[in-house]
Amino acid sequence: MGNGENITGQELHEKVVESVTAIKNGPKVLNLYMDVCARCGTCAEVCPVYQGEPTELRNPVVRSDFIRGIYKKYTTTSGKLLGSMVGASDFDGDMKKWVDSFYECTGCRRCATYCPFGIDNSVITRKGRAIADATGYTPDTMKKVVQTSLDTCNTDGASPEAFKASIDFLEEEMKDEHGVDIKIPVDVVGAEYFYVPPSGDVLVNPEATTGIAKVFYVLGMQDKWTMSSKCFDGANYGLFTGNDGHMKADNKPYVEEAKRFGAKYMFMGECGHAYRIMKMMMEKGKWWGDLPFKVINCMEWTADRIKEGKLEFDKSKNPMPVTYHDPCNFGRSCGIVEDPRVILEAACEDFRDMTPNRGENWCCGGGGGLSAMDDIRDFRMKVSSVKKMEQVKATGAKYVATACSNCKRQFMQLIESHNADFAVGGVHDMLSRSILINGKAAERVDWEG
Amino acid sequence: MNDYIFMFFPYITLLVFVLGVVIRIRAWAKSPQPGKMTLFPATQGTEVPGVIKEALFFPSLFKGDKTLWSFSWIFHATLALIFIGHIRVFTDFPALWAALNINADNMSATSGGIAGILVMATLILLLFRRFFVGRVREISNLADYFALVLVLAVIITGNMMRFSGHHFDLELTRAYFSSMLTFSFSAMVVPADTIFRAHFLLVQLLFVYIPFSKILHFGGIFFTQTLVKQS
Amino acid sequence: MTKKEPNSITFKCGKTYLLDDQGFLNPPDQWDEKFAKCMAREQGIWEELTDQHWQIINYLRKKFTKEHVVPVVVLACADNKLRLSDLRFLFPTGYHRGACRIAGINYDFMYESNYWLTYETSTMPRVDHSVTPRGYLSDFDTWNERFAELIIREWKLPQGLTDRHREIITFMREFYTKNKSIPNVFEACKSTNLDIKELIELFPDGYHRGVCRISGLPFF
């Protein structure tokens, strides 16, 4: 855990108060959240963490009150005059408590869906984490991922050579599966689609990437897309540490790369927060002005091609019951909910939905970057994921498809620690296994039984 | 002396209330916002109709907590009715009643009476909830209880006027308010009714308190819900 | 990292190794070939380690001890001219949970060098035996210890397949081979000195679904 060793108690207090009072100057959303909450407790009722194991510090309002209390004390007349009578409180100097608490919120935004005012506690969580970051208290894991990503443009720290070797390997894989040359173009200037996956989808669980390569192949668009040997990881942990500077610095090379390629589409892979940053924040917020390209998502694109009837599948390759876990960043935050279902229903024999689903889905328990933190593994296994596991078990699914690397890591650890009887993987993984190329699905050794 | 309080305080109250609310809302409206925080799926409703629906029927809360929704919706809806009903304290619409063929006093006695009981009952339930539901007790501070108790006091004194059996002089009260509206201080007669005076003072305290408290959520909801609804 | 009490594992050969809380060898200098062989059995490799297994294990050992890195799965396959499915076939519990664990790379090292390594989505080993819809072995002769282990896994017994299990299973199988019939519960208990309490502890599914099924006897 980052311990902010370079800061004295008094400096810490000043910094905290300063950055909380700065809320007065915006953004509007935080201003409102400081004032409007009616403290009805509905957020706790729908919070995956509080419902996993209710303790006072896990109550979303209690967590948000760390900041709200200071805001009231220093910026409102009533807070100055009446103090704790109106819920104002001072910073107690315990930044460790802040970090523990703000890194127990998965930022899933489920509270906002049910709050009568639409108050999104994840915004306050992010503010809390930003304050922790500014005072050097960000957990070490997070710091390291951010640093690696800033240094190498990917969270794996993989070199362009390693990336190219992996791509060669994946092309050979597909040649073995289908007997034809299916290309994954790299660094092609002039390509229309610039594919940006999470690096894990190339280096660790590459089936999603092969699935996309196959779709391009079937459509005869092999020369229309490209990957970048430098920018192949959309993951951006600046979102999770609350550091806007890091988030933008991490984002910039991708936009430049897309411009260099002259791409028409920034084609985002199966990574929820990467798509959210590109689509909802970077593109909508015009971080880099007007863009010569459009941000789209691979799932909506593939689903559209399926609806047009351009892709064919052998569903019998995926006979097991499959369910889809809506990653919070894709579902609630970006509205990509129907497309993955279109793909899975086309590619699998037995697709089942969990309840609730789509915008009301329970978080996997590893959102907000928590999935990468093994120091809170116990919390993730036993608290934040309780609701999710109940849901998955109720479907009887043997395969949980999800379009988010963090969700996948969380699920994999859940399977291990609960000795659960299902597998986890991506959406395009299912497509990759059953899509017909020249009338034939992939030949693969069926190690899944 | 007492009468002077009732002659001038209401103006101060109104001034504080209006200014306070305007300043708060202006601050919200002016505060910069880099982008929206849209929540999906779109079935939640688009910006204008969606926000109005949220403000009138609390559909999000309905999905999240049905018990709280029923308490809260009945409370707010009857409160709105009661608020409208209070217009009769200022003025009357004999032509309207004649056209609709209604005895206004009877109608006001029944519907107003029912509303008064309902609003009190649901408010007490909300207060109970703060005391006895763990996740709500954890987040309740003095301000939360104070707001509820203050509103409860207003409601109880209001109900007392209707139910305690003593005669409440509507005509006299109406005259008092109309001279207040026309600034005719010389003609102003403050009703001597102590329950009325208590009720009116508490209401003023409530109105002064609103701009400084979370009760202003009735204005905030339009801003916060707009931020998460699709444009 | 929050450290828990160190675990240890004692293999059938009698040798004990210390493990971290994720079940990976730690400290790493305990590694020897015996560990690899014994750990392989725990990871669903039921026959002896083949040359192909050793090629991967030695490759990982070299990367880990000399270069202090763990290659991502795709590169490991590329370097060893293997398909992903070949690797899965060789190491049923996956690259990081199977191959890296057998090669004695500890969890913390993998996690700290690159947490994505540990994100590989592999599957649990599955029954590769033909079973009836009721879950009984179709062919008595295809029984092996792996089948028993998988049933044990299904029961989620913390101690796994014990020698006592083996003793009872051996009795059942010998009885069936000799008499071509299933012993009744009293015969079985008497011959193996088994009381009801122990029976339920060792075979939570009872006599027929438990003892008979795990021994590979057909369903009556």
By Cβ distance, the residue of C111, C124, C153 closest to A374 is: C111
Domain final residue pick, A304, A325, A343: A304
- Work out the average pLDDT over B159-175: 85
Cβ(C97)–Cβ(C23) below 8 Å = no
Contact of A109 with chain B, judged by CB distance below 8 Å, is answered with yes
Task: Judge if A237 and A374 occupy the same domain.
Answer: no
Task: Judge if A150 and A297 occupy the same domain.
Answer: yes
The amino acid at B138? E
Cβ(A325)–Cβ(A354) below 8 Å = yes
Domain count, chain B: 1
**What is the dotted CATH code of the domain comprising C7-119?**
1.10.10.370
Task: Judge if A195 and A257 occupy the same domain.
Answer: yes
Query: Is residue A441 a part of any domain in this protein?
Result: no
pLDDT at C114: 74
pLDDT at C89: 79
CA distance A447 to chain B (A): 37
Q: Which of A204, A416, A448 to mutate to test the interface with C (most CBs of C within 10 A)?
A: A204
Q: Is the pLDDT of residue A447 over 50?
A: no
CA distance C23 to chain A (A): 11
Contact of A78 with chain B, judged by CB distance below 8 Å, is answered with yes
Domain count, chain A: 3
Does domain C140-214 correspond to CATH entry 1.10.287? no
SS3 call for B192: coil
List % helix, strand, coil for chain C (3-state, nearest 5).
55, 5, 40
Contact A173 C84 (CB under 8 A): yes
CA distance A21 to chain B (A): 14
CB pairs under 8 A between A and B: 175
* Residue of chain A with shortest Cα separation from C117: A204
Contact of C74 with chain A, judged by CB distance below 8 Å, is answered with yes
Question: For residue A432, which of A298, A331, A330 has the smallest C-alpha distance?
Answer: A298
Within the 110-139 window of chain C, which residues sit less than 8 Å (CB to CB) from chain A? 111, 114-124, 126-128
By Cβ distance, the residue of B42, B64, B223 closest to A45 is: B64
Number of H helices and E strands in chain C, helices first, is 11, 2
Residues B178, B184, B187, CA angle at the centre, nearest 5°? 85
Q: What is the dihedral angle through the alpha carbons of A71, A73, A77, A83, rounded to the nearest 10 degrees?
A: 140
Contact C121 A408 (CB under 8 A): yes
> How many other β-carbons are positioned within 10 Å of the β-carbon of residue A112?
25
| pLDDT tens per residue across span A289-318 | 999 999 999 999 999 999 999 999 999 888
Contact of C86 with chain A, judged by CB distance below 8 Å, is answered with yes
Whole-number percent of chain A with pLDDT over 90: 78
pLDDT at C1: 36
Contact C115 A372 (CB under 8 A): yes
Sign, CA torsion A183/A188/A190/A194: positive
By Cβ distance, the residue of B40, B61, B217 closest to A42 is: B61
Domain final residue pick, A117, A138, A159: A138
pLDDT at A347: 94
ipTM of the modeled complex: 0.90
Task: Judge if A190 and A163 occupy the same domain.
Answer: yes
Task: Judge if A122 and A23 occupy the same domain.
Answer: yes
Contact B34 A115 (CB under 8 A): no
Q: Which of A34, A40, A50 to mutate to test the interface with B (most CBs of B within 10 A)?
A: A40
Task: Judge if A163 and A107 occupy the same domain.
Answer: no
Average pLDDT of chain C to the nearest whole number: 83
CA distance C117 to chain A (A): 7
Domain final residue pick, A138, A164, A182: A138
Contact C78 A424 (CB under 8 A): no
The CATH number that applies at residue B149 is 1.20.950.20
Average pLDDT of chain B to the nearest whole number: 89
Q: Is the pLDDT of residue C119 over 90?
A: no
Token pair for residue A65? 């009150």
| pLDDT tens per residue across span C150-206 | 788 778 787 778 889 999 999 999 999 998 888 888 888 888 888 888 888 899 888
CATH topology identical between C7-119 and C140-214 = yes
Task: Judge if A290 and A315 occupy the same domain.
Answer: no
CA A194 – CA A224 distance, rounded (Å): 9
DSSP 8-class letter at C44: T
Query: Is residue A445 a part of any domain in this protein?
Result: no
- Work out the average pLDDT over B101-121: 88
Task: Judge if A291 and A170 occupy the same domain.
Answer: yes
Query: Which residues form the domain of B156?
Result: 2-228
pLDDT at C128: 56
Task: Judge if A285 and A378 occupy the same domain.
Answer: no
Per-residue confidence band for A156, with pLDDT thresholds at 50, 70 and 90: confident
The CATH number that applies at residue A16 is 1.10.1060
* Largest Cα span, chain A: 77
Look up the pTM and report it.
Answer: 0.86
Question: For residue A277, which of A319, A234, A225 has the smallest C-alpha distance?
Answer: A234
Query: Which residues form the domain of A372?
Result: 310-434
Query: Is residue A290 a part of any domain in this protein?
Result: yes
Within the 139-198 window of chain C, which residues sit less than 8 Å (CB to CB) from chain A? 153, 156
pLDDT at A79: 85
- Residues in A closer than 8 angstroms to B217, CB to CB, are 36-38, 117
Contact B138 A56 (CB under 8 A): yes
Task: Judge if A156 and A214 occupy the same domain.
Answer: yes
CA distance B143 to chain A (A): 5
Task: Judge if A170 and A290 occupy the same domain.
Answer: yes
Q: Is the pLDDT of residue A1 over 70?
A: no
The amino acid at C84? L
Cβ(A429)–Cβ(A211) below 8 Å = yes
Task: Judge if A373 and A245 occupy the same domain.
Answer: no
Residue spans of the domains in chain C: they are 7-119, 140-214
Q: Is the pLDDT of residue A5 over 70?
A: no
